[in-house]
Amino acid sequence: MKGAQSIDKILAGDPRAVARAISVVEDGAAGAAGLMKAVFPHTGRGLVVGVTGSPGAGKSSLVDKLAGLYRSRGERVGIVAVDPSSPFSGGAILGDRIRMQALGLDPGVFIRSMATRGNLGGLARATVDAVAILDAAGYQKVVVETVGVGQDEVEIVKTADCSVVVLVPGMGDDIQAIKAGIMEIGDVFVINKADRDGVLRTEKELEALLSLAHRPDMWSPPIVKTVATENKGIEELAAAVESYRDFQKSAPGTHGRRGAVARWRILELLRERLLAQALERDGARGRLEALAQEVADKRRDPYSAVEELMGGTHN
């Protein structure tokens, strides 16, 4: 399939072309450049919802139920799940299999798990590219879901049009610290498993912390209580997401946010391309392996190893 044909098929929403395109962006930024340049002008039509929260918060169930609601409204839904914690094992594949059972083989839903491949990075960049491809392919709703609260995960969720942070009642002593960390990320907060003990206390704590937070756009993030496994609160969640989107269209603070997201995307991509360029030079990979061995044997420190690699690539 030629590039131009491939783009036409993506824009027509052909799931195979979309899947192939996501594989291209997963494989590396160099190969993705032509594709993404063609895709980019067609993005910005769908609503991208970012969902994050701790493992065990029930994010996957929540995302599946939200996708089901969007489907019942006749919208096509793309789901991109980031599973960076399992670089070697079948975590991502396992996740896909479980979800396929829940959402069936509905052709209006596209599900893709992203996992790291080695340690050359690029997962965050590839994820954001995958979201852009689904957006361009006419999926009206694209949900990007990240496990955990790591740095990349936070950045990915920030790129969404609306970021949803999922909590559960009674998360224990760490809750203050967690909340402090996610306070700037959430446009909408969900307390899932809201049939459990402690939901009122969690809600009060969250309200107190939100009242202290200062947002440049003056938005007050709503708190939605859900029981995803029983499909409770999903309509309210969808409404909260829509209300943030409506607010955002007229709010003055969003231009700065878009600029920060764009800056982050450029830096992610630049980092990846610079590293790839450095390692493409003749003999660079061999030198890297030899230097890694020297560092492992404590015959050399990592800093002088890097200076040698950089000297070798720039002189």
251 binds its own copies (CB under 8 A): no
Contacting residue, 147, 206, 237, 238, with its own copies by CB under 8 A: 147
Name residue, tokens 């003749």: 282
Q: Which of 13, 28, 68, 87 binds its own copies (CB under 8 A)?
A: 87
Q: Which residue of 48, 111, 171, 199 would you call a contact of its own copies, by CB under 8 A?
A: 171
Decide: is 84 part of the binding site for its own copies (CB under 8 A): yes
Map the footprint of its own copies across residues 179-218, applying CB under 8 A. 180-184, 193
Q: Which residue is listed with tokens 């070697």?
A: 88
**281-300 positions binding its own copies, by CB under 8 A:** 288-289, 291-298
- Give the number of residues in contact with its own copies, rule: CB under 8 A: 96
Which amino acid is located at 304 in the chain? Answer: S
- Angle of CA points 247, 250, 253, to nearest 5°: 85
Strand partners, 78: 110, 142
The burial class, CB within 10 Å (0-12 / 13-18 / 19+), for 224 is: buried
3 state SS of 178? helix
- Residue 64 found at the interface with its own copies (CB under 8 A): no
What residues form DSSP beta bridges with 50? Answer: 144, 163
**Quick count: other Cβ atoms within 10 Å of Cβ 310?**
11
Question: How far apart, in whole angstroms, are the C-alpha atoms of residue 197 and residue 167?
Answer: 13
Single residue of 24, 47, 61, 186 touching its own copies by CB under 8 A: 61
123 touching its own copies, by CB under 8 A: yes
Stretch in the footprint of its own copies (CB under 8 A) among 3-11, 35-43, 198-206, 217-225: 35-43
For residue 238, state whether it binds its own copies (rule: CB under 8 A).
Answer: no
- Shortest gap between Cβ of 117 and its own copies (angstroms)? 11
253: contact with its own copies by CB under 8 A: no
CA gyration radius, the chain: 21
Please report how many Cα atoms fall inside a 13 Å half-sphere around the Cα of residue 186, on the Cβ side.
29
Instruction: Write down the least CB distance from residue 286 to its own copies, Å.
Output: 13
